[in-house]
Amino acid sequence: MDENRGSRIAINLTGKIALVTGSSSGLGAAIAKYMARAGAKVAVHYRSGKDRADAIVDEIKNDGGFAMAFYGDVSKKEDVQKLFSEIDSKLGTVDILVNNAGIDGKRELVGEDDPDDWEKVIEVNLMGPYYCAREAVKRMKPKKSGVIINITSVHEYVPWSGYTAYSSAKAGLSMFTKALAQELSDYNIRVVAIAPGAIKTPINKDVWGNPESLKDLLNKIAMPRLGEVDDIGQAAVFLASDLASYITGTTLLVDGGMALYPDFKHGG
């Protein structure tokens, strides 16, 4: 007889310490809140907007959770080392790392672009997760446990004209997820990715807030709605939990079917 039959299933991250980079707003803030609701102590990370980070910390505390704000520029190796050291001393070693911090960059066509802009996107979106994962791995290996979640994008699959740096960085982060998962498989450390599609956040309000551009965007999604930040927060807390203990080295698309070529819904 299955002794677990009929028992309730719940996500419980009590005793875990979670670092969510870029969590002072948007997707990162939602992920941080869900981690806290599941019982994790959360390091709310910011590079700018300390007031916003403090507000997220207060919101988590008012909801019965525990959080602290930490500063750092993830594109700078020294900043990341300092960030992890401060978390070590104030919270303890990181058990869950969510590499969420990222930038779209400017829309520029190759040959008409500024290489410095391309390089900046790569530094933040690819080197940043690498620097953070490197510090996390050094702490997770001795414990032989841990979860690293990389936030990629539907554009790890779908090309995006004018955003070659962003698309390339997210595709690179996807392969980094796979290769790192392979490296760490003997240490009970899982590495997974979440690829959001069109998620409604303040940063893209100029798109979803305009009826014409919203209609165009919805035509690119199989499901008849935009994603919400909660969709990503829920996916992240699931992947961080023991419910996902046999999932590693793969990307979970949370895109409402954007990668399904929705133009083909009604035939070729």
The pair of structure tokens assigned to 240 is: 């961080």
Residue 19 pLDDT > 80: yes
Per-residue pLDDT band for 265 (boundaries 50, 70, 90) equals confident
| Residue (of 7, 55, 51, 8) closest to 33 by Cα position | 55
The pair of structure tokens assigned to 196 is: 């959001």
pLDDT score recorded for residue 68: 98
Q: Token pair 């911090």 is at which residue?
A: 101
Buried b (16+ CB within 10 A) or exposed e, 205-234: eeebeeeeeeeebbebbbeeebbebebbbb
166 counts as catalytic: yes
Catalytic pick among 166, 187, 246, 261: 166
CATH number of 17-197+229-255: 3.40.50.720
Indicate yes or no: pTM above 0.85.
yes
Domain boundaries, the chain: 17-197+229-255
Residue 157 pLDDT > 60: yes
Rounded to an integer, what distance in angstroms lies between the CA atom of residue 196 and that of residue 256? Answer: 9
Tell me: the pLDDT tens digits for 45-83? Answer: 999 989 999 999 999 999 999 999 999 999 999 999 999
Residue 173 pLDDT > 80: yes
Tell me: the pLDDT tens digits for 102-149? Answer: 999 999 999 999 999 999 999 999 999 999 999 999 999 999 999 999
